[in-house]
Amino acid sequence: MHRHQRRRKLSLTVAIVLFISSFLLLMLLFSYWVTPRIPIIGFHGIIDLTHPALGAILNPTAQRMTYPMQDLEKLLEYLVRSHYWFLSAQEMQDFFIEKSQSIPADHKSQKPVMVTFDDSYKTVYTNVIPILERLEKQYGHKAKMVLFINPGTLAKPNHPSTLYLSCKDLQSGYEKGYYDIQSHGQNHKNLTKISDRELLEELVQAQTQLRSCMAGLAPEKAIAAHLAYPYGSMNNHVASVASKYYHSGYLYNSRILRFCWLKDHYRISRLTTNRNKSVDRLIQVVDQAMEIKRDQPCSR
């Protein structure tokens, strides 16, 4: 009899523990699912389908990462018409990563988004700037793009390139108010597969050269203060070294940023984008962005 009672008591205890554990797990999953999200969209080269040879990328892998200019224009126009807040890397840091500042009143009721371009392709100037100028003229809203630049591939002075941006292109886009200039490493090397000396060179030289390019136009600390890892590849050691020179690090991992859950601002998620992802699908994704309704969106 006593043994039977003990078994019943044990079974009841196990059932209660399982119920509580399941409930807590469901609450955790629910919290993760509904937590505020910010889409960070990662583009590379932008190709005009009516003139595909202009700025053409010959590398097959890089070519697959290109995106049609016509579709990008539809996406950007949707974001501008919908009054999205185009975040710079430092705004992301201040308001959503470190949460060191309250959301400005003029951004309340907006949805934040970050639009980024990697690898220093010339088409980010020749094909994107005209879109941004038209949208600003038509809607009175300036859209800022975050460029993660490899200064080692920039076109050299007096040697124009149809493939890569030049320092003058960066200066022009910045002066127009469309570019936020950040780092993608000096020469687009996989930072997890190089020596410590090379790693330091990749991080420091990129920052130094970009700040030199933008000297006199922008506050030094606003340029190359944030890093996107080439190939999205990083590890704890890379993050540790990067933290000595950069405020944050961006991945390329096809995930939307749930910033209230972010524990390491050297592992910020970005959405991968290529020609196979339709503009309608991208719009569905960006529509998942939170609408800002209070100063500190993560507060309860």
Q: Are residues 12 and 77 in the same domain?
A: no
Rounded distance between C-alpha atoms, residue 252 and residue 268, angstroms: 9
Q: Are residues 25 and 165 in the same domain?
A: no
Domain that holds residue 23: 1-34
Q: Are residues 42 and 28 in the same domain?
A: no
- Count up the domains in the chain and report the number: 2
Identify the residue whose tokens are 């990083």. Answer: 234
Question: Taking the CA of residue 222 as centre, how many other CA atoms within 13 Å lie in the half-sphere pointing to its CB?
Answer: 13
Rounded distance between C-alpha atoms, residue 54 and residue 93, angstroms: 36
Helix-strand-coil split of the chain, %, nearest 5: 45, 15, 40
Is there a domain that residue 73 lies in? Answer: yes
Within the chain, where are the H helices? Answer: 2-34, 60-64, 69-81, 89-92, 123-126, 129-139, 167-175, 196-213, 236-242, 279-286
Is there a domain that residue 293 lies in? Answer: no
Is there a domain that residue 299 lies in? Answer: no
Q: What is the pTM of this model?
A: 0.86
Is there a domain that residue 143 lies in? Answer: yes
Q: Identify the pLDDT of residue 227.
A: 99
Q: Are residues 21 and 55 in the same domain?
A: no
pLDDT in tens, the chain (300 residues): 566 666 666 666 666 656 565 544 444 444 444 456 899 999 999 999 887 776 667 677 888 889 999 999 999 999 999 999 999 999 999 999 998 888 888 888 899 999 999 999 999 999 999 999 999 999 999 999 999 999 999 998 877 788 999 999 999 999 999 999 999 999 999 999 999 999 999 999 999 999 999 999 999 999 999 999 999 999 999 999 999 999 999 999 989 887 786 789 999 999 999 989 999 999 999 998 777 665 555 654
Q: Identify the pLDDT of residue 257.
A: 87
Cβ(228)–Cβ(253) below 8 Å: no
When computed from its CA atoms, the radius of gyration of the chain, rounded to whole angstroms, is 23
Is there a domain that residue 300 lies in? Answer: no
Is there a domain that residue 148 lies in? Answer: yes
Is there a domain that residue 291 lies in? Answer: no
Q: Are residues 53 and 196 in the same domain?
A: yes
Residue (of 210, 282, 218) closest to 227 by Cα position: 210
Q: Are residues 52 and 154 in the same domain?
A: yes
Rounded distance between C-alpha atoms, residue 4 and residue 14, angstroms: 15
Report which residue type is found at 120: S
Rounded distance between C-alpha atoms, residue 116 and residue 23, angstroms: 39
Q: Identify the pLDDT of residue 32.
A: 43
Is there a domain that residue 23 lies in? Answer: yes
Q: Identify the pLDDT of residue 300.
A: 46
Q: Are residues 10 and 109 in the same domain?
A: no
Residue (of 56, 55, 78, 127) closest to 278 by Cα position: 78
Q: Are residues 60 and 92 in the same domain?
A: yes
CA 112 to chain centre: 12
CB atoms under 10 Å from CB of 216, counted, come to: 6
Q: Are residues 219 and 87 in the same domain?
A: yes
Residue (of 297, 287, 271) closest to 82 by Cα position: 287
